[in-house]
Protein backbone atom coordinates (compact mmCIF):
# COMPACT_ATOMS: atom_id res chain seq x y z
CA UNK A 1 0.00 0.00 0.00
CA UNK A 2 1.27 3.42 -0.85
CA UNK A 3 2.17 5.76 2.00
CA UNK A 4 3.07 9.44 2.15
CA UNK A 5 6.84 9.31 2.65
CA UNK A 6 8.24 11.14 5.67
CA UNK A 7 11.14 13.36 4.56
CA UNK A 8 14.56 12.26 5.74
CA UNK A 9 16.75 14.58 7.82
CA UNK A 10 18.88 15.21 4.71
CA UNK A 11 15.80 16.17 2.68
CA UNK A 12 14.56 18.49 5.45
CA UNK A 13 17.97 20.20 5.61
CA UNK A 14 17.95 20.52 1.83
CA UNK A 15 14.47 22.13 1.93
CA UNK A 16 15.65 24.45 4.71
CA UNK A 17 18.68 25.56 2.65
CA UNK A 18 16.55 26.32 -0.42
CA UNK A 19 13.99 28.20 1.71
CA UNK A 20 16.77 30.24 3.36
CA UNK A 21 18.23 31.12 -0.06
CA UNK A 22 14.74 32.08 -1.27
CA UNK A 23 14.40 34.47 1.68
CA UNK A 24 17.63 36.20 0.63
CA UNK A 25 16.47 36.79 -2.95
CA UNK A 26 15.69 40.45 -3.34
CA UNK A 27 11.99 40.91 -3.78
CA UNK A 28 10.06 43.89 -4.89
CA UNK A 29 12.97 45.75 -6.45
CA UNK A 30 12.37 47.77 -9.52
CA UNK A 31 15.79 48.38 -11.07
CA UNK A 32 16.55 52.10 -11.12
CA UNK A 33 18.83 51.64 -14.12
CA UNK A 34 19.77 49.07 -16.73
CA UNK A 35 22.01 46.59 -14.99
CA UNK A 36 25.15 45.82 -16.96
CA UNK A 37 25.07 42.28 -15.55
CA UNK A 38 21.76 41.62 -17.30
CA UNK A 39 22.05 43.86 -20.34
CA UNK A 40 22.98 40.80 -22.41
CA UNK A 41 20.02 38.69 -21.20
CA UNK A 42 18.98 36.74 -24.32
CA UNK A 43 15.26 37.52 -24.07
CA UNK A 44 13.53 36.17 -27.17
CA UNK A 45 11.26 39.24 -27.01
CA UNK A 46 14.12 41.73 -27.33
CA UNK A 47 14.12 44.39 -24.60
CA UNK A 48 11.07 42.99 -22.80
CA UNK A 49 13.10 41.46 -19.94
CA UNK A 50 15.03 44.67 -19.31
CA UNK A 51 11.91 46.84 -19.42
CA UNK A 52 10.17 44.47 -16.98
CA UNK A 53 13.19 44.70 -14.67
CA UNK A 54 12.75 48.45 -14.60
CA UNK A 55 8.99 48.72 -14.37
CA UNK A 56 7.56 45.77 -12.43
CA UNK A 57 8.52 44.51 -9.00
CA UNK A 58 9.68 40.92 -8.98
CA UNK A 59 12.30 38.53 -7.75
CA UNK A 60 15.72 38.85 -9.29
CA UNK A 61 16.63 35.18 -9.11
CA UNK A 62 15.32 31.75 -8.25
CA UNK A 63 16.64 30.29 -4.95
CA UNK A 64 18.94 28.00 -6.98
CA UNK A 65 20.37 30.93 -8.95
CA UNK A 66 20.73 32.92 -5.74
CA UNK A 67 22.90 30.12 -4.29
CA UNK A 68 25.03 30.06 -7.48
CA UNK A 69 25.54 33.85 -7.28
CA UNK A 70 26.38 33.76 -3.57
CA UNK A 71 28.87 30.96 -4.10
CA UNK A 72 30.49 32.98 -6.90
CA UNK A 73 30.76 36.07 -4.66
CA UNK A 74 32.23 34.02 -1.80
CA UNK A 75 34.87 32.63 -4.17
CA UNK A 76 35.97 36.00 -5.55
CA UNK A 77 38.46 37.01 -2.88
CA UNK A 78 40.14 33.57 -2.50
CA UNK A 79 40.59 33.45 -6.29
CA UNK A 80 42.01 36.99 -6.32
CA UNK A 81 44.40 35.95 -3.55
CA UNK A 82 45.57 32.91 -5.51
CA UNK A 83 46.26 35.20 -8.51
CA UNK A 84 48.34 37.46 -6.26
CA UNK A 85 50.33 34.44 -5.15
CA UNK A 86 50.97 33.72 -8.85
CA UNK A 87 52.44 37.19 -9.38
CA UNK A 88 49.38 39.19 -10.45
CA UNK A 89 48.58 42.62 -9.06
CA UNK A 90 44.92 42.63 -8.11
CA UNK A 91 43.22 45.50 -6.35
CA UNK A 92 39.82 46.97 -5.62
CA UNK A 93 39.05 50.21 -7.48
CA UNK A 94 38.30 53.33 -5.45
CA UNK A 95 34.70 53.32 -6.68
CA UNK A 96 33.17 49.89 -7.16
CA UNK A 97 29.52 50.73 -7.86
CA UNK A 98 29.35 52.75 -11.03
CA UNK A 99 26.60 54.67 -12.78
CA UNK A 100 26.62 55.98 -16.33
CA UNK A 101 23.66 58.40 -16.26
CA UNK A 102 23.65 59.16 -19.97
CA UNK A 103 22.63 55.57 -20.75
CA UNK A 104 20.98 54.87 -17.38
CA UNK A 105 23.33 51.95 -16.85
CA UNK A 106 24.74 50.80 -13.53
CA UNK A 107 27.48 48.28 -12.91
CA UNK A 108 29.93 46.96 -10.41
CA UNK A 109 33.62 46.57 -11.19
CA UNK A 110 35.04 44.71 -8.23
CA UNK A 111 38.64 44.34 -9.33
CA UNK A 112 41.34 45.76 -11.55
CA UNK A 113 44.59 43.94 -12.25
CA UNK A 114 47.96 43.74 -13.94
CA UNK A 115 49.13 40.36 -15.20
CA UNK A 116 52.56 38.99 -14.14
CA UNK A 117 55.34 40.97 -15.81
CA UNK A 118 57.09 37.93 -17.28
CA UNK A 119 53.88 36.74 -18.94
CA UNK A 120 53.11 40.19 -20.32
CA UNK A 121 56.59 40.53 -21.82
CA UNK A 122 56.51 37.06 -23.30
CA UNK A 123 53.13 37.87 -24.92
CA UNK A 124 54.48 41.20 -26.22
CA UNK A 125 52.14 43.21 -24.01
CA UNK A 126 52.78 46.23 -21.87
CA UNK A 127 53.33 44.99 -18.26
CA UNK A 128 51.86 48.28 -16.99
CA UNK A 129 48.55 47.62 -18.76
CA UNK A 130 45.58 47.72 -16.35
CA UNK A 131 42.74 45.28 -17.02
CA UNK A 132 39.20 45.16 -15.73
CA UNK A 133 39.03 41.84 -13.90
CA UNK A 134 35.90 39.73 -13.59
CA UNK A 135 36.02 36.57 -11.49
CA UNK A 136 33.51 33.81 -12.08
CA UNK A 137 33.08 30.20 -11.03
CA UNK A 138 31.58 27.43 -13.12
CA UNK A 139 30.30 23.93 -12.60
CA UNK A 140 32.45 21.07 -13.90
CA UNK A 141 29.70 20.55 -16.49
CA UNK A 142 29.87 24.08 -17.95
CA UNK A 143 33.61 24.65 -17.55
CA UNK A 144 34.90 22.39 -20.38
CA UNK A 145 32.29 23.72 -22.82
CA UNK A 146 32.70 27.44 -22.30
CA UNK A 147 36.26 28.09 -23.41
CA UNK A 148 35.79 31.41 -25.23
CA UNK A 149 33.64 34.56 -25.26
CA UNK A 150 31.94 33.26 -28.42
CA UNK A 151 30.98 30.03 -26.66
CA UNK A 152 29.63 32.04 -23.75
CA UNK A 153 27.34 33.87 -26.16
CA UNK A 154 25.88 30.47 -27.15
CA UNK A 155 25.88 28.98 -23.64
CA UNK A 156 23.05 26.78 -22.40
CA UNK A 157 22.35 28.99 -19.38
CA UNK A 158 21.16 32.53 -19.99
CA UNK A 159 23.23 34.01 -17.14
CA UNK A 160 26.41 32.70 -18.82
CA UNK A 161 25.36 34.43 -22.05
CA UNK A 162 25.27 37.74 -20.16
CA UNK A 163 29.01 37.73 -19.34
CA UNK A 164 30.36 38.98 -22.70
CA UNK A 165 27.99 41.99 -22.88
CA UNK A 166 28.76 42.83 -19.25
CA UNK A 167 32.52 42.96 -19.89
CA UNK A 168 32.18 44.71 -23.27
CA UNK A 169 29.96 47.44 -21.81
CA UNK A 170 32.37 47.98 -18.88
CA UNK A 171 35.27 48.41 -21.31
CA UNK A 172 33.31 50.81 -23.51
CA UNK A 173 31.87 52.90 -20.67
CA UNK A 174 35.13 53.06 -18.70
CA UNK A 175 37.19 53.56 -21.86
CA UNK A 176 39.49 50.65 -21.08
CA UNK A 177 41.11 48.69 -23.89
CA UNK A 178 41.19 45.22 -22.26
CA UNK A 179 39.47 43.08 -19.71
CA UNK A 180 40.10 39.60 -18.34
CA UNK A 181 37.61 37.13 -17.01
CA UNK A 182 39.04 34.44 -14.76
CA UNK A 183 36.83 31.36 -14.67
CA UNK A 184 37.40 28.74 -12.01
CA UNK A 185 36.14 25.17 -12.21
CA UNK A 186 34.35 24.66 -8.89
CA UNK A 187 35.36 21.00 -8.67
CA UNK A 188 38.88 20.76 -10.08
CA UNK A 189 39.98 24.35 -9.18
CA UNK A 190 41.37 24.75 -12.71
CA UNK A 191 41.40 28.33 -13.98
CA UNK A 192 40.78 29.70 -17.45
CA UNK A 193 41.62 33.24 -18.57
CA UNK A 194 39.47 34.94 -21.20
CA UNK A 195 40.94 38.16 -22.59
CA UNK A 196 38.63 40.69 -24.20
CA UNK A 197 40.00 43.52 -26.35
CA UNK A 198 37.80 46.50 -27.12
CA UNK A 199 38.94 46.52 -30.75
CA UNK A 200 37.44 43.11 -31.37
CA UNK A 201 34.36 43.47 -29.15
CA UNK A 202 33.27 47.08 -29.64
CA UNK A 203 30.33 45.77 -31.72
CA UNK A 204 28.91 44.00 -28.66
CA UNK A 205 29.46 47.04 -26.46
CA UNK A 206 27.68 49.27 -28.98
CA UNK A 207 24.86 46.74 -29.32
CA UNK A 208 24.49 46.70 -25.51
CA UNK A 209 24.44 50.50 -25.26
CA UNK A 210 21.85 50.69 -28.05
CA UNK A 211 19.80 48.13 -26.20
CA UNK A 212 19.91 50.24 -23.03
CA UNK A 213 18.89 53.27 -25.08
CA UNK A 214 15.85 51.43 -26.46
CA UNK A 215 14.87 50.41 -22.92
CA UNK A 216 15.17 54.03 -21.79
CA UNK A 217 12.92 55.06 -24.66
CA UNK A 218 10.29 52.51 -23.62
CA UNK A 219 10.35 53.92 -20.11
CA UNK A 220 10.07 57.47 -21.39
CA UNK A 221 7.12 56.51 -23.62
CA UNK A 222 5.49 54.23 -21.05
CA UNK A 223 5.51 51.30 -23.49
CA UNK A 224 6.32 47.63 -23.07
CA UNK A 225 7.92 45.51 -25.81
CA UNK A 226 5.36 42.83 -26.75
CA UNK A 227 6.00 39.12 -26.47
CA UNK A 228 7.44 38.12 -29.81
CA UNK A 229 9.04 34.82 -28.91
CA UNK A 230 9.32 32.02 -26.41
CA UNK A 231 12.56 30.14 -25.77
CA UNK A 232 12.23 26.89 -23.82
CA UNK A 233 15.86 27.21 -22.59
CA UNK A 234 15.54 30.82 -21.42
CA UNK A 235 11.97 31.68 -20.45
CA UNK A 236 11.28 28.96 -17.82
CA UNK A 237 14.31 30.18 -15.83
CA UNK A 238 13.70 33.90 -16.37
CA UNK A 239 13.29 35.82 -13.11
CA UNK A 240 10.54 37.89 -14.75
CA UNK A 241 8.54 34.93 -16.05
CA UNK A 242 5.72 35.61 -13.57
CA UNK A 243 5.32 39.13 -14.89
CA UNK A 244 5.91 38.32 -18.55
CA UNK A 245 4.09 34.99 -19.01
CA UNK A 246 5.11 34.78 -22.66
CA UNK A 247 2.20 33.52 -24.66
CA UNK A 248 0.19 32.67 -21.56
CA UNK A 249 -0.89 35.94 -20.02
CA UNK A 250 -4.56 36.52 -20.75
CA UNK A 251 -5.70 40.09 -21.34
CA UNK A 252 -6.54 41.74 -18.03
CA UNK A 253 -4.71 39.14 -15.90
CA UNK A 254 -3.01 40.49 -12.81
CA UNK A 255 -0.03 39.12 -10.89
CA UNK A 256 -0.14 37.89 -7.27
CA UNK A 257 3.21 38.71 -5.65
CA UNK A 258 2.94 36.42 -2.65
CA UNK A 259 5.54 33.89 -1.49
CA UNK A 260 2.91 32.20 0.65
CA UNK A 261 0.59 31.70 -2.33
CA UNK A 262 3.51 30.46 -4.46
CA UNK A 263 4.40 27.92 -1.74
CA UNK A 264 0.81 26.70 -1.53
CA UNK A 265 0.66 26.28 -5.30
CA UNK A 266 3.95 24.37 -5.31
CA UNK A 267 2.72 22.09 -2.51
CA UNK A 268 -0.52 21.51 -4.41
CA UNK A 269 1.53 20.38 -7.40
CA UNK A 270 3.57 18.05 -5.17
CA UNK A 271 0.40 16.46 -3.81
CA UNK A 272 -1.29 16.09 -7.18
CA UNK A 273 0.26 12.67 -8.03
CA UNK A 274 -0.90 11.35 -4.63
CA UNK A 275 -4.44 12.50 -5.34
CA UNK A 276 -4.41 10.61 -8.62
CA UNK A 277 -2.83 7.55 -7.01
CA UNK A 278 -5.45 7.62 -4.22
CA UNK A 279 -8.32 7.77 -6.72
CA UNK A 280 -6.90 4.92 -8.82
CA UNK A 281 -6.30 2.72 -5.77
CA UNK A 282 -9.71 3.50 -4.28
CA UNK A 283 -11.39 2.58 -7.57
CA UNK A 284 -9.47 -0.67 -7.91
CA UNK A 285 -10.23 -1.78 -4.30
CA UNK A 286 -13.93 -1.03 -4.72
CA UNK A 287 -14.04 -2.81 -8.07
CA UNK A 288 -12.48 -5.90 -6.47
CA UNK A 289 -15.03 -5.89 -3.63
CA UNK A 290 -17.92 -5.42 -6.07
CA UNK A 291 -16.67 -8.42 -8.00
CA UNK A 292 -16.68 -10.48 -4.79
CA UNK A 293 -20.18 -9.24 -3.97
CA UNK A 294 -21.68 -9.88 -7.37
CA UNK A 295 -25.13 -8.27 -7.26
CA UNK A 296 -25.66 -8.70 -3.52
CA UNK A 297 -24.90 -6.70 -0.41
CA UNK A 298 -22.40 -7.93 2.12
CA UNK A 299 -19.54 -7.09 4.43
CA UNK A 300 -15.90 -8.15 4.04
CA UNK A 301 -13.06 -7.80 6.48
CA UNK A 302 -9.40 -7.41 5.69
CA UNK A 303 -7.26 -7.11 8.82
CA UNK A 304 -8.98 -4.22 10.66
CA UNK A 305 -10.62 -2.83 7.53
CA UNK A 306 -14.34 -3.18 6.99
CA UNK A 307 -15.49 -3.18 3.37
CA UNK A 308 -19.24 -2.89 3.13
CA UNK A 309 -21.28 -3.35 -0.04
CA UNK A 310 -24.82 -2.00 -0.26
CA UNK A 311 -27.19 -2.49 -3.18
CA UNK A 312 -30.35 -0.66 -4.09
CA UNK A 313 -32.65 -0.74 -7.05
CA UNK A 314 -32.82 2.36 -9.14
CA UNK A 315 -36.16 2.95 -10.88
CA UNK A 316 -36.73 5.47 -13.64
CA UNK A 317 -40.14 7.18 -13.94
CA UNK A 318 -39.60 7.95 -17.59
CA UNK A 319 -38.39 4.41 -18.34
CA UNK A 320 -40.30 2.05 -16.02
CA UNK A 321 -38.94 -0.99 -17.85
CA UNK A 322 -35.41 0.06 -16.98
CA UNK A 323 -34.22 -1.42 -13.69
CA UNK A 324 -30.73 -0.80 -12.43
CA UNK A 325 -28.94 -2.12 -9.35
CA UNK A 326 -26.71 0.54 -7.81
CA UNK A 327 -23.87 -0.82 -5.72
CA UNK A 328 -21.96 1.33 -3.24
CA UNK A 329 -18.87 0.37 -1.32
CA UNK A 330 -17.71 2.01 1.87
CA UNK A 331 -14.31 1.46 3.39
CA UNK A 332 -13.52 2.10 7.02
CA UNK A 333 -11.33 0.85 9.80
CA UNK A 334 -13.00 -1.39 12.36
CA UNK A 335 -11.63 0.83 15.12
CA UNK A 336 -10.73 4.46 14.83
CA UNK A 337 -11.67 6.85 12.02
CA UNK A 338 -13.93 5.98 9.15
CA UNK A 339 -13.70 6.84 5.53
CA UNK A 340 -16.82 6.60 3.46
CA UNK A 341 -16.39 6.73 -0.25
CA UNK A 342 -19.69 5.85 -1.93
CA UNK A 343 -19.43 4.70 -5.47
CA UNK A 344 -22.13 3.57 -7.83
CA UNK A 345 -22.34 1.58 -11.00
Shortest spacing between CB 266 and ligand SF4, in angstroms:
19
What does residue 70 show for φ and ψ, rounded to 5 degrees? -65, -40
User: With contact defined as beta carbons under 8 Å apart, do 135 and 80 qualify?
Assistant: yes
Shortest spacing between CB 44 and ligand SF4, in angstroms:
5
DSSP state of 61: S
Shortest spacing between CB 49 and ligand SF4, in angstroms:
4
- In angstroms, the CA 67 to CA 18 distance is 8
Q: Which is nearer to ligand SF4, 43 or 152 (CB)?
A: 43
Shortest spacing between CB 316 and ligand SF4, in angstroms:
55
- In angstroms, the CA 217 to CA 220 distance is 5
User: With contact defined as beta carbons under 8 Å apart, do 230 and 246 qualify?
Assistant: yes
Q: Which is nearer to ligand SF4, 237 or 332 (CB)?
A: 237
Q: Label residue 165 left, alpha or beta by phi (over 0 means left) and psi (-120 to 50 means alpha).
A: alpha
Q: Which is nearer to ligand SF4, 36 or 328 (CB)?
A: 36
Q: Which is nearer to ligand SF4, 245 or 285 (CB)?
A: 245
User: With contact defined as beta carbons under 8 Å apart, do 48 and 236 qualify?
Assistant: no
Shortest spacing between CB 231 and ligand SF4, in angstroms:
6
Determine the 3-state secondary structure of 178 from DSSP. strand
E-strand ranges in the chain read 34-35, 89-91, 97-100, 105-108, 111-114, 131-138, 178-185, 191-197, 298-302, 305-315, 323-333, 338-339
Shortest spacing between CB 263 and ligand SF4, in angstroms:
21
Q: Which is nearer to ligand SF4, 7 or 229 (CB)?
A: 229
List interacting residues with ligand SF4 (CB under 6 A).
43-45, 48-49, 52, 227, 234-235, 238, 240-241, 244, 246
Q: Which is nearer to ligand SF4, 48 or 290 (CB)?
A: 48
Amino acid sequence: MSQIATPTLGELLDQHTVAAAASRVKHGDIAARNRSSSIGWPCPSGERFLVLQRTVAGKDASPELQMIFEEGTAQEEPIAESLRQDGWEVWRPEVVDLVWPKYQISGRIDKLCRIPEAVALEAGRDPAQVYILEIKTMSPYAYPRLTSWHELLRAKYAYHRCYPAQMASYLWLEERSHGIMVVKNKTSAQKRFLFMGMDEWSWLAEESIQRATRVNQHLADGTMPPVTGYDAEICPKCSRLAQCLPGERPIGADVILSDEMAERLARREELDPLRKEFAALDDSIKASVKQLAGKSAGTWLCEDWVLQVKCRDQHYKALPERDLVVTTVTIRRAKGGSQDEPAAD
